[in-house]
Structure 1
């Protein structure tokens, strides 16, 4: 007697896979957003199973929430994930959510202060230390 797979898997269960559902392949080389940038959520974020303390499908952060990029990471070395800290959102289990680029909209321009400082120092050296 074998195991009946119908007893294990309910074919009517809706699986949430917001990480890979709307994209295949590798993300662009450069991130669209930067650390510290203010962003708005373009769609609801639901638990896709990566947050172990809530059921799959639980609303983690509603569309329209505003937050700031805390860090930028990768999932499976090809999918960029932004760690976004959302403030003042009520009735959600967390304040920090991993988001994809297509789920976010910039609320302000990003200025890479590190790159601006490096460029300033390069120009200063060229001007003051010509050979």
Structure 2
């Protein structure tokens, strides 16, 4: 008898993004209390904000956490892969894919 869907262990493969990759947030990110100097529940990142992967870490040896620098907002926020898309992989204007 299973306990339901098991979540994939991301760290079995390589990280989805490399440092320097330009990314866009696909979700709003609120402070869960781990971001110092901001109120709990305050929106840190809005869907559509763009930033750059600065560093890659791990959480519980299961998930990659990407330190994303959002230059326009002046902050670095740890995010999961499911919260980001790469802008480096998108076709340039005028080019088809």
Query: Which ranges in structure 1 are unaligned for 5 or more consecutive residues?
Result: 1-22, 110-131
| Larger-gyration structure (1/2) | 1
1:81 has 2:65 as partner: yes
Report how many residues are paired. Answer: 83
Structure (1 or 2) with the greater helix fraction: 1
List structure 1 runs of 4+ shifted beyond 3 angstroms.
Answer: none
Q: Once the two structures are superposed, what CA deviation does each residue of 1:82-131 show, in whole Å capped at 9, x if it has no partner?
A: 00011113xxxx5111010000010013xxxxxxxxxxxxxxxxxxxxxx
Q: 1:26 aligns with which of 9, 27, 33?
A: 9
Query: Which ranges in structure 2 are unaligned for 5 or more consecutive residues?
Result: 1-5, 90-97
Structure (1 or 2) with the greater strand fraction: 2
Q: 1:99 aligns with which of 71, 75, 79?
A: 79
Structure 2 match to 1:65: 49
Higher relative contact order (CA 8 A, sep 6+): 2
Task: Provide the TM-score with structure 1 as the length reference.
Answer: 0.57
SS at match of 1:84: strand
Task: Provide the TM-score with structure 2 as the length reference.
Answer: 0.75
